[in-house]
Every structure is written in C-alpha cells, then in structure tokens.
Amino acid sequence: MMEYIYYAKIETDPDGGFIVTFPDVPEAITAADTRQEALSNASEALGLALRGYHMRDLPLPVSRRHKGLMPVTLDAWNALKLAVVEAFDEAGITKTELARRLDRQETEARRILDPNYPTKLQNMEQALSVLGKQVIVSIKNAA
C-alpha cells in the first residue's frame, strides 16, 4: 500500500510566524504567518520535494512516525503522480510497454511519468490500473 504521510515539525519563527520542516524530507521547508497557513503550505512543499527525488532518480524517503510531530498528507494530485512513478519503477517495464498497455502514444506515457507534467487525475488512475494498482480514496476529519 502506498501512503504519502510524512511528519512535520512546526516551530515558532523568532522573526514571526511559523516554520515547518520534515525530519524525513529535509528538502521540504516552508513558513507562513499563521500556523494554519504553514500547515497548508507544508503539503505543497512536501509534494515539490518528493517529486524532486524522482527527478534525481532517488528513492522516496521512508516516512517514520515522530512523537509530537504533525502528520502531513500529500494532495491527491501529488500522491497519484508519485504512485504512478513508483508503480512504473516497481513493474520494471519500458515506457513503450506502458504506452501499449494504456493504448496511447509513448509521448503520453512519458508525460504521465514526468513528475512535473500536469497529468489529469483520471489518466494517472488509468496508468495505476494497468500497472496493477487500485486507487482507494480515504476521507478523514481534518486535524
């Protein structure tokens, strides 16, 4: 199961506002004037940092629970994009084979696998399906 929940440290900035960092993803850092805004920015910073791992051909960092830290989830788009790339890597197939399974041109398969290309959610869900994965949406109360 692929879950994209990482734990954030929220600290008061001596210059005002709040700073958010992630022990498991040191590249993800953000700040804001209010705690709520900082948490909102945290998801975006996390998504950007994790997509950067794929762009550098690095495995995603393992998320570990940290006592006293706030869990931050990725938005649906980033979570699906990362899941597609991870499922593709796990499948050990070529981009040509992915395109064949999707019944699309190889350029479209390449775009789906590009961490920064704005792929539609339904296209990522289809890619996950042909890679043997099922998308399940879970909705919880906000913290």
pLDDT digits (tens, 9 = 90+) for 120-131: 999 999 999 999
Amino acid letter, residue 58: L
Nearest-10 crossing angle of helices 76-91, 106-113: 120
Q: How far apart are CA 131 and CA 52, in angstroms?
A: 22
Question: For residue 53, what are its two tokens?
Answer: 């791992």
Q: What is the pLDDT of residue 143?
A: 64
Q: What is the pLDDT of residue 49?
A: 97
pLDDT digits (tens, 9 = 90+) for 34-52: 999 999 899 999 999 999 9
pLDDT over 90 percentage in the chain: 88
Q: What is the pLDDT of residue 100?
A: 98
- The one-character DSSP state at 103 is T
Q: How far apart are CA 8 and CA 20, in angstroms?
A: 6
Does this model's pTM top 0.95? My answer is: no
pLDDT digits (tens, 9 = 90+) for 9-37: 999 999 999 999 999 999 999 999 999 99
In order of their start, the domains of the chain are 5-73 (3.30.160.250), 76-130 (no CATH)
